[in-house]
Amino acid sequence: MQTARWLAAAGLTLAMATPAFAQNDKMTPIATPAQPNAIELGTGALPGAKATESWHQQYGSVFARNVTVATLTPFLPDPAKASGAAVIVAPGGAFRALSMANEGWDVAKALADKGVAAFVLKYRLVQTPPDLPGFERAMGQLFADAGKRGGPPQQKNPATELAPQIADARAAFALVRSRAAEWHVDPDRIGMVGFSAGAMLTMSTALHGQDAKPAFIGNIYGPLHAVTVPADAPPLFVALAADDPLFGNGGYGVIDSWRAAKRPVEFHLFEQGGHGFGMYPKTTTSTGWFDAFARWLAMHGYLQRKG
């Protein structure tokens, strides 16, 4: 995997505003929001971490930085319409921030409204300067270096490079399965959906997460390079905008990989939408990704009670 290149490229997400939200592109520090339902995952503190967790507002959304302790926040559906399916939701942000509202809480609420239990994963992040100006400079340098390199770096193993984040995802699956009866979840019907870097974590969890074994996965504007697909790979849903400045011109190898392995895959390539559209109410058709994802879940039986 060209992991380091994607980490650098995904940093642009935090430096670019889409036209609809350009007026809100300034980063403003905010107090850490109350998260009374967040459950620590027990994967420990990030080794060697010195900066502490902080939050800021941008693009009308909120972001967490320097996450050192992973948590999982449940968003449970009305028991009367709960299907028994569940989704681990992984926000994006170049593994240096997490878009907690647009790619986390808002997605989870929408899934719960469909009868699917959703769990927002706040995974541990690469450390960045604690002050916002320092953070912005660090992110600028990150993708400037990628541009100077003029090509992909030496390929690295995501199982090693993303070890803390994959451990957090595995712990999330283990926690939901351990409390499946309490949360009215079928332990065999737990999937994962991720956005940008969160999509990369979702793919890595499916391919390298050992006991995680998601029942289905969603890759929303993440990298789409070719991969080796195991015989038991889960059904895959992919959504990407053709004008995505990060991944819109990188090919669609993962689609071919899934099809060659004769595993279920659905791919939505939207004409416009840019990167990071998430749950924002934009005028582009990319806004329809969630409805398409919900229909895909229904097609596979995840919006209906089993048995």
pLDDT tens digits for range 23-61:
478 999 999 999 999 999 999 999 999 999 999 999 889
Which pLDDT band holds residue 303 (cuts at 50, 70, 90)?
Answer: very high
pTM score of the predicted model? 0.92
Rg (CA), the chain: 18
Residue 143 — very low, low, confident or very high, per pLDDT cuts 50/70/90?
low
Give the C-alpha separation, 160 to 69, whole Å: 19
Res 106: pLDDT: 98
Output the pLDDT for position 219.
Answer: 98
Averaged pLDDT score across all residues of the chain: 90
Total number of residues shown for the chain: 307
Express each pLDDT in 279-288 by its tens digit. Answer: 999 999 999 9
The pLDDT of residue 146: 53
Residue located via tokens 């400037």: 144
Distance of CA 227 to the CA centre of its chain: 18
Residue 228 contacts residue 198 (beta carbons within 8 Å): no
Q: Distance (Å, rounded) from C-alpha 287 to C-alpha 267?
A: 15
